[in-house]
Amino acid sequence: MFKGIDYFDLESGFSSEARMIRDSVRDFVEKEFLPIVRDHYRAGGFPMQLIPMLGEMGLLGSNLKGYGLPGIDPISYGLVMQELERGDSGLRSFASVQGALVMYPIHTFGSEVQKERWLPALGAGKAVGCFGLTEPDHGSDPAGMKTKAVKDGDHYILSGAKMWITNGSVADVAVVWAKLDGVVRGFLVEKGMKGFSAPEIHSKLSLRASVTSELIFDDVRVPAENILPGVQGLKGPLMCLTQARYGIAWGAIGAAMACFDEALSYTKERKMFGRPVASFQLTQAKLADMLTAITSAQLIVLRLGELKEAGKMRPQQVSLAKRNNVRMALTVARTARGMLGANGISDEYQTMRHMCNLESVDTYEGTYEIHTLVLGKDVTGIDAVS
């Protein structure tokens, strides 16, 4: 089984439960996911048959408590995300969206009726959810959203569109953010509601083993009881994104580990000029840089997890972790691809699949540039955007 990278013996500080959870997810990825991911990546679809297994293992909304959910600690949750993304960013994205972007807002802002109806089903993988915030013309500026809701008796009339929505075409429920009287509110839009459609986006060159969709709302009548009562304004979706970005910061390490491990194994076995490629100084320098970058990223998320557990984690700290770790993983993947030479462009190897995926991860849920500005504002007190 994959051993992972732990140059600073961080595992010795993990609880026995955290190690057990990580190992069980690592085993699942090794046995159930990796043998099939290439076919799904080629075909451009998510392995839907694994969703019930993710539910049975408690990997959907695993850090939430109550309603039959495991309520694991932040570091254990991070290790789950790390191991899922070692398989593929699409696998981690599915679990991340389901838990952090769908179950979390229902758990945090929903009514008791909404919680009882959706959380057990979503946690068990018997229902799938998606998160509708990004719009065709408003990605990094969610405040400019055009999707709106109008009160009409005991319903809201929802109109507008969302774009680049993970799980959209297969979702049973969409957590949709729209402006109601100029104020951002959250709505639970259910599959089959008249006027609601979710066409899948095809021809992707990244995140191919994942379902990505548009959400279209053509005067959709949403029952009044489907509004999330516990939040108003952009605070709601931004709180959800903070939860998801925490998982991404851990997940990116898994992708980097996979690429490093493949490059190390390949260069030790591959011979050139009568010697293993790993024996050359330039190769060893690359491996040392990759190892250092991965270890630094591990230390960042470990401390972030400790802050989260203590209730002291700030969104800006999550921005630093997401920004650093995803760009780190992308750099590691690009370096590893080069170390594999021409073989690196073949899907017989996993590195280029991770590299292509990470191009999307570097962009979604806050681009590298947006997180740069978040940190700039935090340290200077000056908003470079407004």
Which sequence positions are flagged as catalytic?
365
Residue 44 near residue 208, CB atoms below 8 Å = yes
What is the rounded distance in angstroms from the CA atom of residue 237 to the CA atom of residue 85?
A: 23
162: left (phi over 0), alpha (psi -120 to 50) or beta: beta
Q: Which token pair is 140?
A: 């990094």
Report how far residue 166's alpha carbon sits from residue 201's, in angstroms, rounded to the nearest whole number: 10
- DSSP labels for 213-240? EEEEEEEEEEEGGGB-TT--STHHHHHH
Write the burial class of residue 240 (CB in 10 Å: 0-12 exposed, 13-18 middle, 19+ buried): buried
Do residues 237 and 177 make contact, with C-beta atoms less than 8 angstroms apart?
yes
Among 243, 226, 228, CA closest to 64: 243
- Rounded Cα gap, residues 182 and 179, in angstroms: 5
Q: Round to the nearest angstrom and report the end-to-end CA distance of the chain.
A: 50
In sequence order, what are the residues at sequence separation of 6 or more whose Cβ sits closer than 8 angstroms to the Cβ of residue 323? 366, 368, 371, 372, 375
β-bridge mates for residue 180, sequence order: 149, 183
Tokens 């979604």 correspond to: 364
Residues contacting 311, CB < 8 A, separation 6+? none
Burial of 176 (0-12, 13-18, 19+ CB in 10 A): buried
- The full length of the chain comes to 386
The residue assigned the tokens 């590298």 is 368
Q: Residue 260: beta bridge partners?
A: none
Q: Is 149 helix (H, G, I), strand (E, B) or coil?
A: strand
